[in-house]
A and B are shown apart, each in its own frame.
Chain A
Amino acid sequence: MSKSLLRLRVNGETHEVLAEPRKLLSDVLREDLHLTGTHVGCEHGVCGACTVLVDGRPARSCLIFAVQMARHEVTTIEVVAQSGRLAHLQQALHETHGLQCGFCTPGIIMTFEAYLADNPAPSEAQIREVLSGNLCRCTGYQNIVRAVLAAAARRRAEGPA
């Protein structure tokens, strides 16, 4: 299969990548753009580890070809913390011990970055429903849920960031 030049907008920058049209967005992010914070856990859209934002909405980067991303804006975990300062959810996950091996964590953060922007005061049940799209094998989810509740409260008090 021949390679072609793809143009992608990722984290506010334009990148040109020479890749086959069949190359997954997750692989282009990781291998060509060296944004390895987006993790690949199942490559069939179930585990949620590869979640990124496409035009601000959570999406599974393992189910998207990079070539489909022309005219879209992709956001990855690498820009969630600004100038070394953790965002509310990152800080809350740290404080509540909401991560262990950390492999699923970026996908969870990307999922809730989008969700909390639209839903500033979610219930625990709503958080669990949304979180069910991200598998975590280490934590049993309890501390992740606590972290999202804490982050939502902080976001309401202080605004996003």
Chain B
Amino acid sequence: MSADRTPAPLLGQPLPRKEDFRFLTGAGRYLDDIEIARALQASFVRSPHAHARIRSIDLSRAQRAPGVTAVVSAAEVNQWTTPLRMAPPIDGLQPVEMTTLPADKVRFHGDPVACVVAADRYLAEDAAELVEVAYEPLPAVADMASALAPGAPLVDDTLPSNLVSHQRFVAGDPARRFVGADRVIEAVFSQHRQTHLPIETRGCAAVWDEGRQHLTFYAGNQVPHPLRSALAARMRLGESQITVISPDIGGGFGQKIALYREELTVAALARALKRPVRWREDRLENILAASHAREDFVKVRAAVTKAGGLLALEMELVEDFGAYCFYPANYLARVVAMILTGPYKLQDYAFEVKIALTNKCGNGPMRAPMAIASWVMEGTMDAIARELGLDPVDLRKRNMLRASELPYVTATGQRLEDITPYETLERGLAAVDYPEFRRRQTAARTEGRHIGLGICSVVESTTYGSAFYKAAGILGSGHEAAWVKVEPSGAVNASLGLMASGQGYETAFAQLVADVLGVGAGDVSIHLGNTDIAPYGMGSRGARGGTAGGGALRLAADDVAAKILHIAAKLLNLNAPDQLRLSGGGVERLTGGAWSTTGLTLTAIARTAYLDPLALPPGMEPGLEAHRAYDPPPMTFSNATHLCEIELDPATGAVRILRYVIVEDCGTVLNAAIVEGQQHGATALGIGGALYEHIVYDATGQLLSGTLADYLVPTACEIPNFEIIALNTPNRQTVTGSKGMAEGGVMGGIGAVCNAVNDALAPFGVTATRQPFSPDYLRSLLRDRR
């Protein structure tokens, strides 16, 4: 009967999105679309050097340029703001601090050193060219190996070396296992530097109200409340003195989380000048100086039996974090190490993680910060299979967790439950007809064609709960907060601390709330992105929206529904509401085993709750609203198997994707169309990284890939159609049964494509280990093979 009481007709339905109309008609409101009277435009002066002392900065010519209101540098801005200190109590992590603008030296090509504020963007850019900075160039470290070499120039002069973070971990007794192993197999994996590349670049607008001493700060930001906290602290304002408003966001992918130095400078300028100031970076600045991501080198050693039993694993990871730490330096690599073993049974595991500072743009989390993990694990399985002459599928199955072995606590203490890696693998193999593929592959080789199949099983960590943050040593939480209000007319408003950048929250969450309150999705409005309206939440990151946000919203909606039914029982002269439910915009009653309408509408109950409170049950407060927070489990896991068939042209090194199958189990879904869209987008991003996108620096730290003609985002001609098979095993620990998703596709995309290329390369006796798997790299392997 309980299922009957919450019929949930909208749950999972692929409803077209409520937010689409404004985007389709050009009526969306992104940051730069907001009109702000009297707003001045900011433009930043950036370092042309990767590493240099600042000897002097002469602002005078720029200050006299037409239309200029102010030109400032560290001398002013660092007085108005406090530095960012990044010093969580994490073993092996060096404390670091950065001022808002660099005063003594620049640390990367693109480091902002001054800011011009002028009547329009053209005049601001003109004047920026007149700022004269005298630099004394210093030797730069442009890659992680030279950064960690003895005697390397220091990126951060306050540290003993560029090794900003160093951790080791051992579980079980890998050393003993290696001694007892039949074989020890090594593999290396190199992932290159990339950037998020939202099609909307960064930007912000700051409006200071001198009378109220209040800042309204507009920025397309995934985490409006944490951004407000950071702004308040660094401007020495109270949190009640700042409203952050995030308008529509033209893509975030993790780039729009941190409070950037440019944003803080703009906010401080608005306050100092008592004039609104706005800023929108151009694409060169976005690629040069917003935030970069990835760039790791991984070495794995696996101890195995002859038959392919995985006994132990050791991993060394070195990551290039760039010049500045907007996050704890071990923040991203930690998760790679933590989840590396994926769906495999393995208790003897050791890792060592080193993070290097270099004279490059600072790194941050990009959609699937742990992206390399699945490629490393599944690439290792393929390497083992090749070395032992085993079928890679048999090897995987031999070591993979089965349903009967769950819940399973991994070597790093992660609790895996309600995941289905064996099932997604089997379904995927059936979809591509694996034995038939191997026959086709053999036949093709006799014709001189080289096709390859890449298999990548993904166990995606999502929805990091507060227990994760505590264990990681990071001040922060993984909870989310929400409120739901039924207004006097019966209209439903709801809000949560997340901020959307394309995930369709206004639709999926309306469906969730509507089901609980027995109304249509069109009757529920979801309000996001205003810190005065939304409850303090942790925002959108880490594939947490559906599970953490949906959980909080569900709890709040349940509270409101319970109150509605109590009022209904009173109005219907019943002792208790247990035979009542909400459906079709009103209250239904169970009589004779069937639900029938009582004639009591939600509107009538809402009117009573607000306007006739004396008719409420004794002691009940007027109004119909609830505010709840939800702290999800320490970690929630989704899983998937990606299978990618490619053709490699050995003459050119070109890789073409012939077929792509994704079998994914992300638990209960709120809107199947939105989930599928996330799977497409995530996988496309993974493919782009594996094959095309590349942030390139030369040996002196000059960025060489500053345009979209250099940094190659995949187009519609490179990305295939994805065949998606959905499994929906609910997670029993989360409120809604959902698991979090939208990053696993990146992990699977990288792993499946790279493994497919290596499957095609196998007859040539070479293995590609260095992304991107570009034509020239693959040609070099084929050309140089012995």
Which residues of chain A have a CB within 8 Å of any CB of chain B? 1, 20, 22-23, 27, 30-31, 34-44, 46-47, 49, 76-78, 80-81, 86, 90, 93-95, 97, 99-106, 109, 127-129, 131-145
Contacts and interface: CB of A to CB of B under 8 A. Distances in A.
B122 A131 contact: no
Contact of A132 (B16, B29, B717): B717
B721 interface: yes
A90 B674 contact: no
A40 B676 CA distance: 28
A101 B251 contact: yes
Interface in B489-514: 501-504
Contacts of A136: 199
B496 to A, nearest CB: 19
Given A41-B283, A138-B502, A128 B248 contact: no
A137 B283 contact: no
Interface residues of B, number: 56
A104 B28 CA distance: 11
| Dominant secondary structure of chain B at its interface with chain A | loop
B722 A39 contact: no
Given A39-B250, A41-B201, A105-B23, A47 B708 contact: yes
B105 to A, nearest CB: 30
B661 to A, nearest CB: 13
Contacts of B674: 97
Given A101-B502, A106-B26, A141-B684, 16 more contacts: A22-B122, A30-B33, A40-B32, A42-B707, A42-B708, A44-B707, A77-B26, A94-B24, A97-B17, A97-B677, A99-B23, A101-B250, A132-B717, A135-B715, A138-B502, A140-B683
Given A44-B707, A100-B504, A80 B33 contact: no
Interface in B598-623: none
Contact of A135 (B20, B253, B282, B708): B708
Nearest to B682: A140
B122 A23 contact: yes
B14 interface: yes
B83 to A, nearest CB: 32
Nearest to A133: B715
Contacts, number: 170
A38 B32 CA distance: 11
Interface in B1-59: 14, 16-17, 19-30, 32-33, 35
A109 B684 CA distance: 21
Interface centre among B120, B673, B680, B683 (most CB of A within 10 A): B680
B685 interface: yes
B388 to A, nearest CB: 36
A69 B197 CA distance: 31
What are the 6 A-B residue pairs with the smallest beta carbon separation, nearest first? A37-B26, A102-B23, A103-B250, A100-B502, A140-B684, A101-B502
A78 B26 contact: yes
B708 A46 contact: yes
Given A39-B200, A131-B715, A135-B715, A86 B680 contact: no
Nearest to A102: B23
A41 B27 CA distance: 17
B488 interface: no
A44 to B, nearest CB: 6
A86 B684 contact: no
B634 to A, nearest CB: 29
Contacts of B680: 139-143
B681 interface: yes
B455 to A, nearest CB: 20
B184 interface: no
Contact of B199 (A20, A97, A101): A101
Contacts of A37: 25-28
Given A100-B502, A137-B253, A143-B680, A41 B199 contact: yes
A100 B675 CA distance: 11
Contact of A103 (B30, B282, B673): B30
Contacts of A138: 251, 502, 677, 681
B280 to A, nearest CB: 8
B25 A104 contact: no
